C-alpha cells in the first residue's frame, strides 16, 4: 500500500483528505503539531506529531514511512490574524514549507499536492477568477501561499519536483458520516459561526461589512464542500502518479453567495432564526471571490457532488449538533 504524508492531517481539510485517501486505497500518514488540529481527527492511518519548522522531525518521519507523495495542508489561515501579525504567517507557512520540500526531496519523494487558496488573487472586482488571473493577495495569508507556489516552481526547475496546486474557494460542510468536521478554535469561518449563533454558543453572528459593492452590501464567496474538495486532491495525486506534469487548478462551483444569502439558507435548512448584528469591514477581506474555472472538471474529471449550499449547511449542522471532539 502506498503511503502519503499528509501535513495538517489532524485539521479540518487534512482529516477529510486522510479519510478520502484511505477510501482510495492509500495509507495516509498524518503529520500535525496539533496547534489547530485534533488528535481525535487523526483516525485513518498512522499519526506523527511534529512541526514543519523541525527539520529533524520531518527527516525522521520520511525515513520511517518512505511516502511516495505529500499532501500539504499545514498552514495558518486566519485572514485577520495574518493582517495583524504577518511575521507569524511568513515564518510558519513559508519557512515550514521550505523545510518540507527539502526534506521530501532529500528522501526521494518528488510528488506534492499543495493546498493553496483563491486569496492569492486578491480583490478583482467584476472578474470571475480562473487560473490565468493575476495574483495580487491582500494579506500575508494569501501572500505566503503565493510564495509557496513560486517555491514549488523553483524546485521543479532545479530538482524535478512534481506538483499539483489547488487554489480553492470557501470550504464548508462536514463528513456526511459524522466522523469528522470543522472545529477551529477560535472559529473564524462564516457557516460554523452562524451555526454557533443558532445554537446559542455565541450571542449573534457579526456580519463584517454591509457596504460592499454587491446587491445586498455583503461579501460574496464561492463555497465548495470539503468532501468534494478532498476528492479533487486524490485526483490530483493520481494525476501526478500518471506523470501528467505540474498543474494549477481552481476548486469552486462558479456560483457566489453573499453573507446575507448564506444566513437565509441556514435559517431555512435548520428551521431556526439566525441572530445577526452588523459590524465594520475587516481589513484584508475581498468584495467577491468566485471561481470561473472549468479546468478541474475538464482535465481531472472532478465533479462536485455535495457542493450545493443546502447540503453543505445540512452536513455542517449535523456535525455541530453532534458531540464532535471538543478537546
Note the pTM of the prediction, 2 decimals: 0.94
- CA 179, CA 35: separation in Å to the nearest integer? 20
- CA 129, CA 134: separation in Å to the nearest integer? 9
- CA 157, CA 315: separation in Å to the nearest integer? 42
Q: Any catalytic annotation for residue 65?
A: no
- CA 256, CA 238: separation in Å to the nearest integer? 29
- CA 270, CA 264: separation in Å to the nearest integer? 10
Of residues 12, 65, 89, 141, which has the active-site annotation? 141
Residue by residue, pLDDT tens for the chain (327 residues) are 899 999 999 999 999 999 999 999 999 999 999 998 999 999 999 999 999 999 999 999 999 999 999 999 999 887 788 889 999 999 999 999 999 999 999 999 999 999 999 899 988 766 778 999 999 998 999 999 999 999 999 999 999 999 999 999 999 999 999 999 988 777 778 899 999 999 999 999 999 999 999 999 999 999 999 999 999 999 999 999 999 999 999 999 999 999 999 999 999 999 999 999 999 998 778 888 889 889 999 999 999 999 999 999 999 999 988 877 654
* 3-class DSSP state of 274: coil
Q: Domains (ranges, CATH) in the chain?
A: 3-172+223-251 (3.40.50.720), 190-221+254-320 (3.90.25.10)
Whole-angstrom CA distances from 106 to 56, 126, 161 are: 12, 44, 11
Answer yes or no: are the C-beta atoms of 264 and 209 closer than 8 Å.
Answer: no
Amino acid at each position: 500500500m502506498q503511503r502519503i504524508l499528509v501535513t495538517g492531517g489532524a485539521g479540518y481539510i487534512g482529516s477529510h483528505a486522510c479519510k478520502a485517501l484511505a477510501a482510495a486505497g492509500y495509507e495516509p500518514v498524518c503529520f500535525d503539531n496539533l496547534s489547530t488540529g485534533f488528535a481525535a481527527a487523526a483516525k485513518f492511518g498512522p499519526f506523527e506529531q511534529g512541526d514543519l519548522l523541525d527539520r529533524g522531525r520531518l527527516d525522521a518521519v520520511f525515513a520511517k514511512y518512505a511516502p511516495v507523495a505529500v499532501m500539504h495542508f499545514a498552514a495558518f489561515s486566519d485572514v485577520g490574524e495574518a493582517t495583524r501579525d504577518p511575521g507569524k504567517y511568513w515564518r510558519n507557512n513559508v519557512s515550514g514549507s521550505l523545510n518540507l520540500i527539502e526534506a521530501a526531496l532529500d528522501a526521494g519523494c518528488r510528488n506534492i499536492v499543495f493546498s493553496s487558496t483563491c486569496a492569492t488573487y486578491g480583490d478583482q472586482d467584476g472578474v470571475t477568477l480562473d487560473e490565468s488571473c493575476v495574483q495580487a493577495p491582500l494579506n500575508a495569508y494569501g501572500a505566503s501561499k503565493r510564495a509557496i507556489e513560486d517555491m514549488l516552481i523553483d524546485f521543479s526547475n532545479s530538482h524535478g519536483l512534481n506538483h499539483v496546486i489547488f487554489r480553492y474557494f470557501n470550504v464548508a460542510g462536514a463528513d456526511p458520516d459524522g466522523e469528522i468536521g470543522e472545529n477551529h478554535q477560535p472559529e473564524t469561518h462564516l457557516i460554523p459561526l452562524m451555526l454557533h449563533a443558532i445554537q446559542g454558543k455565541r450571542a449573534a453572528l457579526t456580519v463584517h461589512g454591509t457596504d460592499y459593492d454587491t446587491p445586498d452590501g455583503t461579501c460574496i464567496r464561492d463555497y465548495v464542500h470539503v468532501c468534494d474538495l478532498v476528492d479533487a486532491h486524490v485526483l490530483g495525486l493520481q494525476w501526478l502518479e500518471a506523470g501528467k506534469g505540474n498543474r494549477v487548478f481552481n476548486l469552486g462551483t462558479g456560483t457566489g453567495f453573499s453573507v446575507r444569502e448564506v444566513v437565509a439558507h441556514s435559517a431555512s435548512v435548520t428551521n431556526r432564526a439566525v441572530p445577526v448584528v452588523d459590524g465594520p469591514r475587516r481589513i484584508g477581506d475581498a468584495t467577491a471571490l468566485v471561481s470561473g474555472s472549468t479546468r478541474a472538471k475538464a482535465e481531472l474529471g472532478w465533479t462536485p457532488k455535495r457542493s450545493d449550499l443546502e447540503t453543505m449547511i445540512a452536513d455542517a449542522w449535523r456535525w455541530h449538533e453532534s458531540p464532535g471532539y471538543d478537546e
